[in-house]
Structure 1
Amino acid sequence: MRACFVGDSFTAGVGDATTLGWVGRCAAAAWGRGVAVTAYNLGIRRDTSADIRRRAEAEVLARLVGTPGDAQAVVFCLGLNDTTFEDGMPRVPTEQTLDNAAALLDWSAARWPTLLLGPPPALHDAVQDARVAALSPLLEALTERFAVPFLPLHAALSHSSAWRGGAARGDGVHPDAAGYATVAALVEAWEPWLELTGG
């Protein structure tokens, strides 16, 4: 199975000294179930949904086209960087975030099994975190249009001592290995992911 994981620093696993992040842990767990996953981590630090929309097609096609014998999937995780304020305004307004997400899901779900993870909390900034909390259900409602499964991360991670503690020990934003292990556990308990990876 070939799977592309497209997102920002939280997809890339920034802050994890093991370099596994949640993507590496989920791929390893799938191998443990007998599914040989080639996990393409396409997370780029500071990327917004607009950045991801610009690059996703070329990056995903380069990895999934021409492999007809393999199962394939695309997993997106986006939104937190959109809510960051720069020069007194969000980097990406909510309406544009939803438009970007819709374009990505429409394109991807027409070709491969596609999943969307909601943005994690912004623990370093309570005001931004409120914007993230408001965005998550809007993204979830959007996924229903495309029959794409959605995993909300914000609420679960907001109450996770491993995530909060890991961020506090690091740069205040990104967790450590224990925090990413918490995300991996949420994904591993998620039926749509298990259906793709032999759970």
Structure 2
Amino acid sequence: MGELPLRLAVVGDELAAGVGDPKGLGWVGRVSARTPTPDPLTVLTLAVPGETSTGLGARWEDEVARRLSPEADNRLVVALGRADVAAGLSLARSRLNLANILDVAEQRRIPAFVVGPPPGSTAEADKLADLSAAFADVANRRRVPFVDTYSPLAAHDQWLGDLAAGNGVLPGQAGYGLMAWLVLHTGWHSWLGLPEDGA
């Protein structure tokens, strides 16, 4: 990291906003709390509940551009949800949407970090697994860090119990804690140029 303070724009859906977390932190708040920076860390969450990657692709650039500062080390966190599956988007379309976001971010010289969709209902498990893998491939091809939240949580008792205790779709306190742990342990600090905090 340079001498400029970090400013992170997080784009995503209701999971990025932490909906369903009784503590109101979500995974973004928990990750922010475990990200020690020399200067105050600015994290701006720009979430639209139920948004597909198509919707995200249409809005992110304008919304993020308004929040960037020449006096900051500006970064983009793309928090992908599960809405593409519910909307019936093809994997090819989902891949293209993420590819376009990452390519534009690179053109704008905004370093990106991608968090994939976590497991939801068992009825859509196979499609979500494929979607997560497709997003991972797009990010990896561009050498953009990608956090797979699907594979580690698909059969995780605490995650599944947390979903079941709520509405079956949104995680609660424990689930968001698990997502935050995965983000913190999948290259987060190195992406920001910060020392690992042993979290």
Cα contact 2:80–2:116 (8 A) shared by 1: yes
* Deviation per residue, 1:140-169 (Å, 9 max, x gap): 111133221111110111132232111111
* Residue equivalent to 1:108: 105
The letter for the 2-side match of 1:132 is L
Aligned residues: 188
Q: Report matched runs for 1:105-184 at 5 Å.
A: 105-110=102-107, 111-122=109-120, 124=121, 126-184=122-180
Distance 1:197 1:41 in 2: 21
* Residue equivalent to 1:74: 76
Judge which range, 139-148 or 42-51, deviates more: 139-148
Cα contact 2:91–2:134 (8 A) shared by 1: no
Distance 1:35 1:171 in 2: 39
- 1:13 equivalent in alignment to 2:9: no
* Deviation per residue, 1:105-158 (Å, 9 max, x gap): 101133211011111112x2x231110101212211111332211111101111
- Unaligned 5+ segments in structure 1 are none
* Residue equivalent to 1:48: 52
* Residue equivalent to 1:194: 189
Sort the Cα spacing of 1:18 and 1:185 in 2 relative to 1 into closer, same or farther, 3 A.
same
Distance 2:38 2:33 in 1: 10
The letter for the 2-side match of 1:53 is G
Cα contact 1:35–1:197 (8 A) shared by 2: no
Q: Report matched runs for 1:18-29 at 5 Å.
A: 18-29=23-34
- Unaligned 5+ segments in structure 2 are 1-5
* Residue equivalent to 2:90: 93
Sort the Cα spacing of 1:35 and 1:24 in 2 relative to 1 into closer, same or farther, 3 A.
farther
The letter for the 1-side match of 2:132 is S
Sort the Cα spacing of 1:36 and 1:50 in 2 relative to 1 into closer, same or farther, 3 A.
same
In the superposition, the TM-score normalised over structure 1's length comes to 0.88
User: In structure 1, the residue corresponding to 2:34 is in which secondary structure?
Assistant: helix
In the superposition, the TM-score normalised over structure 2's length comes to 0.88
Cα contact 1:11–1:77 (8 A) shared by 2: yes
The letter for the 2-side match of 1:62 is R
* Deviation per residue, 1:88-108 (Å, 9 max, x gap): xx1x22211111111001011
What is the aligned-residue identity percentage? 34
Cα contact 1:165–1:175 (8 A) shared by 2: no
Distance 1:52 1:115 in 2: 15
Tell me by how many angstroms 1:175 deviates.
0.7
Cα contact 1:30–1:36 (8 A) shared by 2: no
